[in-house]
């Protein structure tokens, strides 16, 4: 049933906006500082997401603890002054993922560690290897997708995107997210002296990937029968809720860069 | 066992490689050639390998493996091909490796030779500019001496009291000032590539001639000097000396200044490195100071030549900055030579890239290469946006 926007539908929007602004400020400050600050924020969020992931899988506490320790331990080694982001880092993460999958006898727990670990490695790699502008572009695309999808979904509504996985996502939201990502991408790339023009259309693909990440996490939550992955961020749920789109996008961006496609 | 000095030359067909071979050929009883490498010049490589009696020859381009083997057939000289084979040649037992490969391709072979514990005669500037900290740390760990071949750094090396560096007050690099030493910026704005490549004292390739004209060359040398000679950044100075007779100087705390002078012939610093710690004769023209008559010196003008200030800032900040400076400058110079940007835009574009691209300090050579690549990609974008 599609309805025009009513105040009720934007309930919690104020809280959500205020928390959102604070989160964005913290992220931007860490992004600007780079090095230890950015690594620390990314790693802490990674560990928080690991805990939330374990929660969604409803595994025992000790398994959660082991998974968080394995991920946190791996992320210590990508500190910018030690940084060995290369094939070995990926192998180490894969090793930890296999270990926790076996110890916890849960394939999904192992996959979660690998997925979250790769995402954190990717975003730190982007920041420390490719610099602030490209990382800012990546973050901005995901944020633009989220915001565009949220408002166009609420305002337009219409046909559901994937009711089996997530009851609230609409086609209008997906298209609004893509449009918003393309717009923000154009603004950033045109005003940047360094970013290449082909990033503009890439934002459209990344918007779809971001929404795919969002959808996947919604499905995990639905299976677990919860609305939010945790209450870590007031109005936004948990770290997973907020970073579900960024994770696959940063992995894709880092993969594109590693394959040398930017040069 | 022969008691001749065993030499390997990386980049044997380039200008420094050729000068080195010229000196070796004049002293066959003193030197023995272990290995020679080149990137693509199979005929040139095979020819010098046969004439000098090298044991091993390597071509960088793997597709040319067969050509090299054919060209060396019957000579008894073993051959190999590929980047990995060049590193293997660098690691072969030798008394001295002459590192004369131009560009970033020379970095890994130099590191391999350092790890093998061989004394290095260094003519590859990227090794120190882009990967300076990694190189000097490895050299220190392996107890390897790096003998600079570049005329300025070789001069400093000769004047520098390596056993008592605490008595040294400063290192003074001399700069010719390039073809635009006396020009104002308004005149420099409209300089053509043809005009800029004409250097008053040395005949050089287009890239290095432009670096000399922007004085980026001196800036990069400043960074190299900082890695080679362990003093504070402030202790490195540049003085413009149009005649290029004084190659550089070291100032001591008592007010003494020791300078090295010579004619502009690369074979003098190369011979110094080949014979070190002894000396060898060269056919170089002797310096005739009376005929030269006068030597002039002046302060460099960082307003007119901002590349010097950019390089000094990169040297002071360290980390990835020098690698970005070098990579970005190469792309900007190429764009100027192609007529896509103006002369003054070279330094302006490099400054923009340095300001906006801020990766962490590289902790391994792979990261140096990744930063170098990324800086080039960003500079190409910046150049296109400038030209558009």
User: Tens digit of pLDDT for each residue in B202-215?
Assistant: 556 788 889 999 99
Contacts of B353 in chain A (CB under 8 A): 194
CA dihedral B85, B90, B94, B97 (to 10 degrees): 140
pLDDT(B2) > 90: no
Residue B277 confidence class, pLDDT cut points 50, 70, 90: very high
Per-residue pLDDT, A120 = 96
How far apart are the CA of A85 and the nearest CA of chain B, in angstroms? 9
Q: Which residue out of B320, B328, B358 would a mutagenesis test of the A interface target, given it has the greatest number of A Cβ atoms within 10 Å?
A: B358
Contact B131, B365 (CB under 8 A): yes
DSSP assignment of B337-368 equals: HTTSS-HHHHHHHHHHHHHH--PPPPSSHHHH
Q: Do B358 and A131 touch (CB under 8 A)?
A: yes
Q: Do B360 and A193 touch (CB under 8 A)?
A: no
* The model's pTM: 0.90
Dist CA B264 CA B242 (whole Å): 12
Contacts of A254 in chain B (CB under 8 A): none
Dist CA B367 CA B356 (whole Å): 18
Domains of chain B: 5-144 (3.40.50.720), 152-263+290-302 (no CATH), 319-388 (1.10.1740.10)
Q: How far is CA A196 from the centre of its chain?
A: 23
Question: Average pLDDT of chain B?
Answer: 94
Per-residue pLDDT, B199 = 62
CA dihedral A85, A87, A88, A94 (to 10 degrees): 110
Q: Which residue out of A77, A85, A90, A129 would a mutagenesis test of the B interface target, given it has the greatest number of B Cβ atoms within 10 Å?
A: A129
Q: Do A132 and B364 touch (CB under 8 A)?
A: no
Contacts of B133 in chain A (CB under 8 A): none
Cβ neighbors of B13 (< 8 A, separation 6 or more) are B38, B39, B41, B44, B45, B48
Q: Do A129 and B370 touch (CB under 8 A)?
A: yes
Q: Does A133 touch chain B (CB under 8 A)?
A: yes
Q: Which residue out of B317, B374, B383, B387 would a mutagenesis test of the A interface target, given it has the greatest number of A Cβ atoms within 10 Å?
A: B374
The model's pLDDT over B243-269, given as tens digits with 9 standing for 90+, comes to: 999 999 999 999 999 999 999 899 999
How far apart are the CA of B385 and the nearest CA of chain A, in angstroms? 7
Contacts of B361 in chain A (CB under 8 A): 80-81
Phi, psi of B2 (to 5 degrees): -90, 150
Q: Which residue out of B321, B358, B360, B373 would a mutagenesis test of the A interface target, given it has the greatest number of A Cβ atoms within 10 Å?
A: B360
Contact B119, B147 (CB under 8 A): yes
- A 32-91 residues with CB < 8 A to B: 34-35, 80-84, 86
Q: ipTM surpassing 0.90, yes or no?
A: no
Strand positions, DSSP E, B159-245: 168-175, 236-240
For residues B190-217, give the mean pLDDT: 81
Phi, psi of B57 (to 5 degrees): -135, 140
Closest residue to B381, CB basis, from A81, A132, A195: A195
Contacts of A123 in chain B (CB under 8 A): none
Q: Do A133 and B364 touch (CB under 8 A)?
A: no
Residue B153 in tokens: 């750094």
Q: What is the mean pLDDT of each run of 10 residues along chain A (263 residues)?
A: 48 80 92 94 96 91 94 91 78 92 91 95 94 95 93 84 79 93 96 92 96 89 82 81 93 89 50
Q: Does A260 touch chain B (CB under 8 A)?
A: yes
Contacts of B374 in chain A (CB under 8 A): 129-131, 257, 262-263
Residue B330 in tokens: 């190469």
The domain locations on chain A are 11-258
Q: Do B360 and A34 touch (CB under 8 A)?
A: yes
Q: Does A195 touch chain B (CB under 8 A)?
A: yes
Contacts of A128 in chain B (CB under 8 A): 359-360
Contacts of A133 in chain B (CB under 8 A): 356-357
Per-residue pLDDT, B1 = 45
- A 218-257 residues with CB < 8 A to B: 257
pLDDT(B324) > 60: yes
- B 330-359 residues with CB < 8 A to A: 352-353, 356-359
Contacts of A260 in chain B (CB under 8 A): 373
Q: Do B356 and A196 touch (CB under 8 A)?
A: no
Contact B342, B189 (CB under 8 A): yes
């Amino acid at each position: 049933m599609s309805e025009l926007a009513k105040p009720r539908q934007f309930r919690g929007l104020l809280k959500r906006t205020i928390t959102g602004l604070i989160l964005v400020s913290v992220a931007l400050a860490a992004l600007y500082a780079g090095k230890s600050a950015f690594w620390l924020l990314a790693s802490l969020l990674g560990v928080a997401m690991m805990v939330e992931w374990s929660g969604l899988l409803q595994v025992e506490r000790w398994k959660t603890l082991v998974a968080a320790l394995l991920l946190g331990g791996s992320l210590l080694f990508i500190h910018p002054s030690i940084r060995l982001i290369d094939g070995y880092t990926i192998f180490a993460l894969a090793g930890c993922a296999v270990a926790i999958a076996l110890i916890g006898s849960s394939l999904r727990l192992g996959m979660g560690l690998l997925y979250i670990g790769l995402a954190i490695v990717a975003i730190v790699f982007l920041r420390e290897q490719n610099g602030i502008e490209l990382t800012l572009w990546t973050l901005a695309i995901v944020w633009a997708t989220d915001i565009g999808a949220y408002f166009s979904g609420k305002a337009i509504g219409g046909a559901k995107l994937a009711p089996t996985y997530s009851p609230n996502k609409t086609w209008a939201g997906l298209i609004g997210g893509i449009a918003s990502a393309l717009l923000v991408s154009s603004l950033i790339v045109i005003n940047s002296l360094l970013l290449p023009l082909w990033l503009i259309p890439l934002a459209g693909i990344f918007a779809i990937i971001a929404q795919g990440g969002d959808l996947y996490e919604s499905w995990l939550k639905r299976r677990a029968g919860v609305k939010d992955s945790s209450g870590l961020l007031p109005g936004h749920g948990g770290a997973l809720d907020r970073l579900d789109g960024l994770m696959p996008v940063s992995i894709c961006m880092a993969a594109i860069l590693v394959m040398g496609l930017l040069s | 066992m022969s008691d001749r000095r065993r030499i390997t030359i990386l980049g044997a067909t380039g200008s420094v490689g050729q000068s080195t071979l010229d000196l070796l050929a004049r002293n066959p009883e003193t030197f023995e050639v272990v290995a020679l490498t080149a990137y693509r010049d199979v005929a040139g490589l095979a020819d010098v390998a046969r004439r000098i009696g090298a044991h091993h020859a390597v071509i960088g381009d793997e597709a040319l493996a067969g050509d090299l083997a054919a060209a060396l057939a019957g000579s008894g000289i073993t051959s190999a091909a590929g980047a990995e084979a060049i590193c293997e040649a660098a690691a072969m037992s030798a008394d001295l490796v002459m590192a004369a490969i131009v560009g970033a391709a020379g970095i890994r072979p130099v590191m391999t030779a350092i790890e093998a514990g061989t004394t290095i005669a260094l003519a590859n500037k990227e090794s120190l500019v882009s990967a300076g900290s990694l190189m000097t740390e490895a050299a220190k760990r392996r107890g390897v001496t790096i003998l600079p071949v570049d005329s300025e750094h070789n001069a400093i090396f000769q004047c520098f009291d390596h056993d008592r560096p605490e008595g040294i007050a400063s290192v003074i690099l001399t700069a010719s000032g390039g073809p635009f030493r006396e020009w104002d910026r308004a005149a420099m704005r409209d300089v053509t590539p043809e005009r800029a490549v004409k250097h008053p004292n040395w005949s050089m390739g287009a890239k290095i001639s432009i670096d000399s004209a922007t004085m980026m060359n001196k800036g990069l040398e400043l960074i190299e000097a900082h890695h080679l000679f362990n003093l504070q950044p402030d202790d490195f100075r540049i003085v413009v000396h149009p005649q290029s007779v004084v190659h550089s100087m070291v100032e001591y705390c008592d007010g003494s200044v020791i300078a090295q002078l010579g004619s502009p012939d690369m074979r003098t610093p190369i011979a110094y490195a080949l014979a070190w710690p002894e000396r060898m004769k060269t056919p170089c023209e002797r310096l005739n100071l009376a005929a030269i008559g006068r030597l002039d010196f002046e302060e460099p003008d960082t307003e007119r030549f901002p590349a010097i200030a950019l390089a000094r800032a990169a040297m002071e900040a360290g980390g990835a900055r020098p690698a970005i400076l070098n990579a970005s400058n190469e792309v900007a110079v190429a764009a100027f030579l192609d007529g896509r940007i103006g002369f003054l835009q070279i330094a302006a574009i490099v400054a923009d890239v340095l300001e906006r691209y801020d990766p962490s300090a590289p902790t391994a050579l792979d990261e140096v290469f990744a930063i170098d690549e990324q800086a080039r990609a960003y500079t190409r974008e910046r150049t296109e946006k400038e030209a558009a």
